[in-house]
Amino acid sequence: MPIYMDRHDVSEKVTAEIVAQLHQQDLKIQHNFQCRGLTYWFDDRRKTAFCLIEAPNKEAIEQMHGSAHGEVPNEIIEVDPLVVESFLGRISDPKQIGEGPLNVISESALRTLMMVGFDDWASLHAEKTGEDVNIPACMNLLIPIFQKFGGRVVKTFRTSYLVSFQSVTQTILCALELYSGIVEWGKKANCAPIRLKTGISAGVPVSGNRELFEEAEKEARMLHDISENNIVVSADVKSLYEEENPDAYLEHELFVSLSPTDQKFLYPLMDYIAETWQNPYLKVEDLGKNLGYSKSQFYRKMVSLVGETPNNFIKNYRLRKAAKRIRRQSGNIAEIAYETGFNSPSYFSKCFLRKYGILPSEYLQQALV
């Protein structure tokens, strides 16, 4: 039977004790609707509750809640319990603290997500110099550091991880330790010159999308993509960190903290780039116009926020996509050049060499070995 997670936005008067009582009312009649309540999360500060329920369909959940107490959910999505556990750490009720008839759960479902990994430059540099870089071994060195700060690996990619943390402060401390010890732990696995890219976001499991933590994961990916050997954090993460640490500020040379205004610029930009990057006729004017900026305004904003000119930003975005396609052997060099928005294979090779220090044809030969 499918597993669902629903979201309830409750009133200010609702407490953790009241939510526990409502949950008990669900359990008393759940069999009438072929449902089985597995657990829930409640955030008293934000007044949100998330229920994990086995049910035949969404309608059965709405009917059960409606009949039990009338608190029908605002949203319901189907979920994979293994994914829920990787993000949230559990799929059943936590051990009851204290005595009493109710297991009162007061645990927020808000999580901080870190997308962290190696820049493509590291592996490409190794290909060029002939260094015996072991990317999996380098990746494995990160895991104990995640675990030290309570991080749970949610997804693993070739050169990066998506990691979930319950505490914003622990996320920040973990990121700092990764960077502070990078030279030493890099030597252990004979890693190539390492450049870490890190993006940190925060969010809740159900937020108007079809997938669990979809919005927060997308945000972490975007921040990771614009990271250049630093740690890029969202406005929410900065705010949450300073709430948890009233006497501290997120000020460190490694951190780039986005403001809400920065995000209003960056996120639509990244969405538009994701849709249009393969178009060889894409112009800087198109990007600025789509965001409502003049060419000069757009140029200044890009340089101040991303550290690159608009033309270089588009070009480097395409080159990263091209490197991945070459690695996957998705075609010959000319085909990949055209597929990634370059008008000329020779110009593509020139740009690739300038960025990575190796010709795409040489990189393809390495991938074929």
Q: For residue range 162-182, what is the model confidence (pLDDT) as tens digits?
A: 999 999 999 999 999 998 877
Residue 253 and residue 141 share a domain: yes
State mean pLDDT over 29-58.
Answer: 98
Q: Cα separation of 92 and 85, whole Å?
A: 9
Share of the chain above pLDDT 90, in %: 69
Residue 133 and residue 42 share a domain: no
Asked whether residue 119 carries a pLDDT value surpassing 90, the answer given is: no
Structure tokens at 231: 């740690």
Residue 336 and residue 278 share a domain: yes
Q: Cα separation of 132 and 46, whole Å?
A: 50
User: Which of 258, 288, 321 corresponds to the end of one domain?
Assistant: 258
Mean pLDDT across the chain: 90
Residue 169 and residue 238 share a domain: yes
Per-residue confidence (pLDDT) for residue 124, from 0 to 100? 64
User: Which of 205, 227, 258 corresponds to the end of one domain?
Assistant: 258
Asked whether residue 314 carries a pLDDT value surpassing 90, the answer given is: yes
Domain count, the chain: 3
Structure tokens at 109: 């479902």
Q: Which helix H or strand E contains 197, and what residues bound it?
A: strand 196-203
Q: What domain range is 211 assigned to?
A: 111-258
Residue 235 and residue 119 share a domain: yes
Per-residue confidence (pLDDT) for residue 254, from 0 to 100? 87
Global pTM reads 0.90
User: Which of 238, 258, 278 corresponds to the end of one domain?
Assistant: 258
Per-residue confidence (pLDDT) for residue 369, from 0 to 100? 56
State mean pLDDT over 99-104.
Answer: 81
Task: Give 189's pLDDT tier (boundaries 50, 70, 90).
Answer: low
Per-residue confidence (pLDDT) for residue 228, from 0 to 100? 83
Per-residue confidence (pLDDT) for residue 187, from 0 to 100? 67
Residue 237 and residue 275 share a domain: no
Q: Which residues contact 180 (CB under 8 A, 6 or more apart)?
A: none
User: What is the CATH number for 36?
Assistant: 3.30.70.3090
Asked whether residue 262 carries a pLDDT value surpassing 80, the answer given is: yes
State mean pLDDT over 16-23.
Answer: 96
- 249 conformational bin, left if phi > 0, alpha if psi -120 to 50, beta if neither: beta
Asked whether residue 154 carries a pLDDT value surpassing 80, the answer given is: yes
Residue 288 and residue 277 share a domain: yes
Q: Cα separation of 280 and 341, whole Å?
A: 4
Asked whether residue 70 carries a pLDDT value surpassing 90, the answer given is: yes
CA distances to 14, 104, 143, 201, 348 from 49, in Å: 10, 13, 31, 20, 51
Task: Give 131's pLDDT tier (boundaries 50, 70, 90).
Answer: low
